[in-house]
Structure 1
């Protein structure tokens, strides 16, 4: 559906997007992650044809965004980080303007406006001035305009930024619903949100793609951080002796707090933390020792994100690349 090939965007000596390549297939929800200044908004603006590239190609369903922009852009609905709303208009007036700009007319325009208003739950506010709407409703208006024209691809840049928890849940549910009929790509800093919604996750750092996979598979990249915390009335030496024959335990440490119970932190490199926890339980039972508590601490998407982006920054620093220039995402778009 979307092919990004060796995409590069430079501002003078600074490279905002660095030889980026990936493939997006139809019918999934994709999360686009990266720290501030990673190049997310720059990439999205290039993918939608709002920004030129220094080199590389972006193809939407086979149409090159630079060589055949009209055909490619008809397939894309885009919500920038700052929704391009006219505050003096009502949602109904604004959507009519956007629909006409997209080439819709007459009965088809009216039909699509009614559909996107209903889909984004704007019915109760469609005749209110946009300036009087809450930020959550403004985001809904922004998403509604992206849906006009029935594009195959919906690209949303930070659609939940600045929203309260209830509004975030509402927009999250809307994105899930859109994913049933569209290919959706959205950027976010809320990792739990991406984990809950997305089929696939792209992580970029310093303009480079550092990971692209399903959330569950990305978590397996950090299996060495899997940790089992146990509490027992056995002594430290007895715990060490009890677990001496359990395979895949890579490290064991104990809380230094003086309590009547020993608390051990056990790290494992096994790909299934539940197998190790079962082996630990069986070892204690065989020795007749009491296991009072067991807690499993698994790697999550946040661990993956921090590990991959920090490692990317370290690699850039060690290679002597320019990392001191700070350009925010919004500045990249303007420039």
Structure 2
């Protein structure tokens, strides 16, 4: 699974400890996030992407980006509406829509199209009924990346069809070989049609802390906030203080993590290539997406014959068939052992 095995940096942990000792932080937190946290998010977005955000109206705290992914369909969609979801894609894009009683339309992500959705292939009647479109780059599970020009196309498509775009950018900081992932909000007009969700989980090894953010169009953020005030009571203040330390503090821990993941990626991809498997070197995320004849049977054989767990691609949607996903969230030595086990099997 996509759960980093690396430790949260000490300066982040210490910020949590110090804040937890303050009795004033033992009460209900703000629904939308402390002003200091929202200011830290806005500052980080400006430094990282050059995007200017009003922390009072364009930023909201999330209990991890999954919180926002699951709940925003409640704010934007209902029976008779469509949600455009990538296939393969994070399963919660679809289940969130189903809980809101909306229908889903799967946008196939194919190797031939660099795992980007073909917007022209979306039926016109579906596009007109769609209220929400999900995009996710760097991508889970394919590890594909998207250029800013693609985001510009998405903005124009959303304008033409009256669709809200939500960009799930949780993996933007896990990149290799000098690549820097853009934000959807860098595209001209993006803030008119959508928002972006981000998480501290992957960037700062804080998956269990449950802290993230949604940023962008203030009316969409307001709608998400209305839903959340009826569902949760905000993020524990000490966790927000820890997040502030992460966003405003030294970013060496992020660079160190990327170096570790890059070494692991190189070990795994090199080993799989030598074994003759159909695999491409990813430039981002901690996933490796590998082509196989049948995803479920291959995953079962991997487990039975090598003791290695991989995720069948079909579990991420119909277009995920023919692939499996590896997660490089184990040490390089452990990955070398996995490759050695695979070498003992006749594939």
TM-score (norm 1): 0.29
Greater helix content: 2
Between 1 and 2, higher relative CO (CA 8 Å, sep ≥ 6) is seen in: 2
Greater Rg over alpha carbons, structure: 1
